[in-house]
Amino acid sequence: MAATAEALSVIASRPGGLRRVLRLATSDGFALAGTLIYLVLILVAIFADQIATHDPTQILFGARGRIARNLPISFDHLLGTTHGGRDIFSQLVMGSRSAVTIGLTAAFFVVLIGTLLGLVSGYFGGWIDAIVMRFADIVLGLPFLPFVIVLSALSRPGTVTIVFAVAVLLWPNTARVIRSQVLSLRERSYVEAARVTGCSTARIIFVHIAPGILPLSFTYGSIAVGWAILTEASASFLGFGDPRVISWGGMLQDAFSSQALSRGAWNWFVPPGLCIVLVVLAGFFISRGYEEILFPKLRD
Amino acid sequence: MDALLDIRALSVSYRARSGAVHAVDRASFTVPAGSVVGLVGESGCGKTTLARAVMGVMPASAQVSGDALLFQGVDLLKLSPRERRRLAWTKLAFIPQTAMSALDPVYRVGAQIAEVLVERGGFSRTAARARAEELFAMVGIDRARLAEYPHQFSGGMRQRASIAIALALEPALVLADEPVTALDVIVQRQVLDVLKDLQARLGLSVVLVTHDISVVAYACDRVVVMYAGRVVESGTAEEVLERPRHPYTMGLTNAFPDLAGAAHTLVPIAGHPPALDYPPPGCRFAPRCPFAQERCRTLDPSTEDAAGHVAVCWRAEEAELLRIQAARVETWAAMG
Amino acid sequence: MSAVPLLDVTDLAKHFPAPRRLADIARGHRPTVKAVDGISFRIGPRETVGIVGESGCGKTTTGRLVLRLVPPTAGHIRFEGVDVASLRDDALKAFRRRAQLVFQNPFDALNPRLSVRDSLAEPLRNQGLPRPEWDARIALAMQRVRLPDLARYLDRFPHELSGGQLQRVVLARAIILEPHLLVADEPVSMLDVSVRAGILNLMREARDTLGLAALYISHDLALIRYVCDRTIVMYLGRIVEDGPTEEVVRNPRHPYTRALVAAVPVPRVAQSRAPLPIRGNVPDAREPPSGCRFRDRCPQAMPRCAAEDPPLRDVGNRVLAACHLL
């Protein structure tokens, strides 16, 4: 425990650690775009209540008491209304909350599990490594979406299930990359130096090796955010999402089942789709930009 | 006097993120025909950059300028890139520092030599084969090994194979960048002997870039000492090593252990070379020099030529006295 | 040398499995590289011993075996009377306090995220030394490596220091626990020439001021000669000569040593350029020659050399050599 705390302080104390992160955001055009998208997403999610023009779940009625169905874009309804008479724009804005929640939570767990297993596997090698890697291989062999669907069917469809599914299925890639980085870091002279002075294994892992791989974890974390959101959208679209939560995937499902496509109601299905795409892309952009910082040779 | 290679005030600068780096600043020296010239200095002194600039293998961001870069009377700086390329491998050859790993691992060594001969030298396949065998014999490798792959060669053999490839088209001058640095001492000696042998038999000229003064003393007829991008001393090996006229050379010769001599105390030179993006004014060695005077720090020292033994130092005339002082540990310790 | 040697190595061997080629698999053959194949030597409490040899001779592996960084395949390593291989937990930790390592690459030997102070504190922390003592010990170690300006260096990070300064910090870290044995593997090979002398001088001093024993490993005989009282010459995993440095350098007995000494260039224009008394190249480590390993390169090989492996014997003047000619 003390070792972990120390590890965190070690990273923080790295000269220009914060400067590095800021440099990451501004150095690469793509990384900048990605960071901005994330920033906007988070802000929207936080201030969703203020930004949304209507209650997204409320069925709205127009003049003469009729349901305000499939209204086109107007000042009242910035993106029009759904077939059920709900304001699309408000739904879009509210949907950002579940995106952020699911995305960040799932990514956090993916990174946590992947990093820990990667560290242990890479450092100890031998049979521990073999077991973890074979386990990872098995998990990688599981078909993604069907697994999520089965899981949703067995338990309650909901946010928790999605987060759990994503965490369980996405950690192997992270673990593998972390592991290979650990394999190379393990051979560095300063790690050997630590061993020669009688350093405990826990300390070597957390103080000498971990700070070197955490940037990589971060990179994979940002990719995981995108994947998580995509998974949630897919599951919701197929009807396995949480029906009580407004999400972009849910919007798409609603639009699809209301035959918005054939009616050409692009104001309904394009915005949530676009948002999903943008967030996933943002994750990739950031990871790409960060990769260039981690491995400067890629720049030339 | 017609030197094979005559470098006059050559300068090379790079554009790096932080600004311009002046890797080489107005370097001048000559390479007579049939001689081995050692270009010696520490890391960052510009010797590799200089060799590459002469060869014309610089990255696009580098700027090479100078009064003249005469090779066999032709000014290389005035040639077009195509004409320059034609010279490469034919009259002028280069053995890079990474020569050992520069051989393509998926082709047999013989095939790689043959490729140079056929592509650049217009040899026929059979003639190329014969020449390859000849080259291997010259560098002392059994010709049966032409059929092998690079990974089957030891480090020393790969280095000798690189020399063989460089010699394929009978160049007049070979630029070798740290050719023996990564080799064991016995192999190092073998490779150096090969170079000397080629010098004697073929009249080959070699510019041997190295940081090791002992290698220079063993293999070279002439020595050029570089520091922080400038040539600080040049002359015959005998003159420069036994009677150095520049304080840096004096310090450098003190820093090498002599296995044959008595075990004297090694004298380190305190400090480290200046960064080349903002070099200090005046003499670049002044901050570390125990004999520095006021003018050394402000004015670029003039070039003192005493019968072919060039030293770029304000106090070059006092060299004899300075040498005595330089031999004492206290002189250098006072700088640290 | 005193009665109880600090380090007593007997018949030490380390075999590595070599990658199998198709021909090996077909024959059911498991090739091994005998990096170290039966070596014995001793180091006294204040002795400075150098191991010299070319790449592949086993000197680096020997250094790592002595520090128990790799387990031996055979043989014994006794440090202050105790068998190193059997050490566990507390005893192992105590051993780690008394035997330290200086690395070849100063740019890689320090954790880039730790300041100089923290890197120096690491051994103290790992050995459980009381916190109040740390500052004094750090200051002393820095003084000993001639970096007394603490305010200038302690809070710096590795990327801010030059190669020479880094290696001094590495040395400081190695001596901060006041070990009895210091092992240094090519400690100056990655440093600039004008900087090497400073580090080598420090090492020369260390043996006097710190009273420790040292094992220097290098391919550079001139360096070994400068720093070490005694020199051990290795070839293909065996010791071929072991004696006082001046003796070994001035009057080499073993043919390999003779070739090695002759091959080292000196910074004088007037030096011998005679052909070396050695033939051919280093043989494949997987299949060393039978009998004396050096025989296929030795200009004086006799039939006996192929049949019998010469043992390391006393040949006078405190020199041990393994050659049938002597």
Cβ contacts below 8 Å, chain B against chain C, sum to 126
Residue of A nearest to C178 (CA): A197
Boundary (domain end) residue, out of B170, B191, B222: B170
Give the pLDDT mean for A224-228: 82
Closest Cα partner for B236 from B220, B218, B257, B260? B220
- Residues of chain C neighbouring B35 (CB-CB closer than 8 A): none
- Residues of chain A neighbouring C181 (CB-CB closer than 8 A): none
Confidence at residue A134, expressed as pLDDT on a 0 to 100 scale: 95
Contact partners for chain A, using 3 or more CB pairs closer than 8 A, are: C
**CB spacing of B218 vs C276 below 8 angstroms:** no
Give the pLDDT mean for A149-153: 80
Winning range, highest mean pLDDT, from A283-287, B37-41, B297-301, B315-319: B37-41
Region of poorest pLDDT, from B64-73, B136-145, C286-295: B136-145
Residue of A nearest to C88 (CA): A198
Show the tokens assigned to B33: 């025909």
**CB spacing of C265 vs B189 below 8 angstroms:** yes
Name the pTM for this structure.
0.82
Confidence at residue C14, expressed as pLDDT on a 0 to 100 scale: 93
Instruction: Give CB contacts under 8 A, 24+ apart, made by B325-331.
Output: B325/B290, B325/B291, B326/B247, B326/B250, B326/B251, B326/B254, B326/B290, B327/B250, B327/B254, B329/B265, B329/B267, B331/B267, B331/B290
Q: Which residues pair with B311 in a beta bridge?
A: B233, B304
Cβ contacts below 8 Å, chain A against chain C, sum to 62
- DSSP letters for C130-149: -HHHHHHHHHHHHHHTT---
- Quote the CA–CA distance of B211 and B215 in Å, as a whole number: 9
What confidence tier does B222 reach under pLDDT thresholds 50, 70, 90? very high
Show the tokens assigned to C195: 């900087």
Interface test with chain A among C65, C66, C102, C122, by most A beta carbons within 10 Å: C122
* pLDDT mean across residues, chain A: 82
Total domains in chain B come to 2
- Quote the CA–CA distance of A281 and A84 in Å, as a whole number: 31
pLDDT at B62 over 80: yes
- Residues of chain C neighbouring B266 (CB-CB closer than 8 A): 196-197, 200-201, 226
- Residues of chain C neighbouring B221 (CB-CB closer than 8 A): none
Q: Which residue has the higher pLDDT, A29 or B297?
A: B297
Confidence at residue A7, expressed as pLDDT on a 0 to 100 scale: 56
- DSSP letters for A51-65: H-SS-TTPPPB-GGG
Using a pLDDT cut of 90, give the percent of chain C over it. 45
Using a pLDDT cut of 70, give the percent of chain B over it. 98
Class of residue C111 by CB neighbours under 10 A (exposed 0-12, middle 13-18, buried 19+):
buried
What confidence tier does B316 reach under pLDDT thresholds 50, 70, 90? confident
- Residues of chain C neighbouring A13 (CB-CB closer than 8 A): 113, 115
pLDDT at B74 over 90: no
- Residues of chain B neighbouring C200 (CB-CB closer than 8 A): 257, 266
**CB spacing of A193 vs C157 below 8 angstroms:** no
Helix/strand/coil percentages in chain C, nearest 5: 35, 20, 45
* pLDDT mean across residues, chain B: 86
Boundary (domain end) residue, out of B170, B191, B225: B170
Confidence at residue A298, expressed as pLDDT on a 0 to 100 scale: 47
**CB spacing of C127 vs A198 below 8 angstroms:** yes
Sequence letter at residue C315: V
What confidence tier does C167 reach under pLDDT thresholds 50, 70, 90? very high
Q: Which residue has the higher pLDDT, C299 or C284?
A: C299
Confidence at residue A156, expressed as pLDDT on a 0 to 100 scale: 74
**CB spacing of C96 vs A197 below 8 angstroms:** yes
* Radius of gyration over every alpha carbon of chain A, rounded to an integer in angstroms: 23
- Residues of chain C neighbouring B257 (CB-CB closer than 8 A): 200, 222-223, 225-226
Confidence at residue B278, expressed as pLDDT on a 0 to 100 scale: 78
Give the pLDDT mean for A22-26: 59
Note the pLDDT tens digit of each residue in C208-265.
Answer: 888 889 999 998 899 899 989 999 999 999 999 999 999 999 999 999 999 999 999 9
**CB spacing of C126 vs A11 below 8 angstroms:** no
Boundary (domain end) residue, out of B151, B170, B189: B170
Confidence at residue C3, expressed as pLDDT on a 0 to 100 scale: 62
* Chain C residues interacting with chain B (CB cutoff of 8 angstroms): 54-55, 146, 162, 164, 192-198, 200-201, 219-223, 225-226, 246, 249, 259-261, 263-269, 271, 273, 275-276, 278, 281-282
Closest Cα partner for B227 from B291, B286, B302? B286
- Quote the CA–CA distance of A226 and A282 in Å, as a whole number: 8
- Residues of chain C neighbouring B100 (CB-CB closer than 8 A): none
Q: Which residue has the higher pLDDT, B3 or A294?
A: B3
**CB spacing of A196 vs C69 below 8 angstroms:** yes
Judge whether B42 is closer than 8 Å to chain C, CB to CB. yes
- Could you say which of C195, C226, C273 has the minimum Cβ distance to residue B263? C226
> Which residues in chain C (155-214) have CB-CB distances under 8 A to chain A?
157, 170, 173, 177
- Could you say which of C198, C223, C271 has the minimum Cβ distance to residue B268? C198
pLDDT at A12 over 70: no
Task: Print the domain residue range for B123.
Answer: 101-170
- DSSP letters for B110-128: HHHHHHHHHHHH---HHHH
Note the pLDDT tens digit of each residue in C91-134.
Answer: 888 898 899 999 888 888 999 888 999 999 999 999 989 999 99
Q: Is residue B258 part of a domain?
A: yes
Pairing relation of β-strands B230-236 and B309-312? Answer: antiparallel
Residue of C nearest to A16 (CA): C113
Confidence at residue C1, expressed as pLDDT on a 0 to 100 scale: 46
Give the pLDDT mean for A64-74: 81
Confidence at residue A9, expressed as pLDDT on a 0 to 100 scale: 58
Confidence at residue B17, expressed as pLDDT on a 0 to 100 scale: 72
- Residues of chain C neighbouring A201 (CB-CB closer than 8 A): none
Q: Is residue B326 part of a domain?
A: yes
Give the pLDDT mean for A99-116: 89
**CB spacing of B42 vs C194 below 8 angstroms:** yes
Confidence at residue A21, expressed as pLDDT on a 0 to 100 scale: 58
ipTM, two decimals:
0.84
pLDDT at B267 over 50: yes
Sequence letter at residue A204: I
Closest Cα partner for A67 from A54, A86, A88, A89? A86
Q: Which residue has the higher pLDDT, B7 or A64?
A: B7
- Which sequence spans correspond to the domains of chain C? 7-321
pLDDT at A152 over 80: no
Region of poorest pLDDT, from C26-40, C158-172, C216-230: C26-40
**CB spacing of C105 vs A192 below 8 angstroms:** no
Note the pLDDT tens digit of each residue in C249-265.
Answer: 999 999 999 999 999 99
Q: Is residue B119 part of a domain?
A: yes
The CATH number corresponding to C7-321 among 3.30.590.20, 3.40.50.300, 3.40.50.720, 3.50.50.60 equals 3.40.50.300
Confidence at residue A10, expressed as pLDDT on a 0 to 100 scale: 58
Give φ, ψ of B37 to 5 degrees: -110, 125
Show the tokens assigned to A31: 């990384």
Confidence at residue A296, expressed as pLDDT on a 0 to 100 scale: 56
- Residues of chain C neighbouring A203 (CB-CB closer than 8 A): 126
Interface test with chain C among B185, B236, B243, by most C beta carbons within 10 Å: B185
What confidence tier does B101 reach under pLDDT thresholds 50, 70, 90? confident
What confidence tier does A22 reach under pLDDT thresholds 50, 70, 90? low
Contact partners for chain B, using 3 or more CB pairs closer than 8 A, are: C
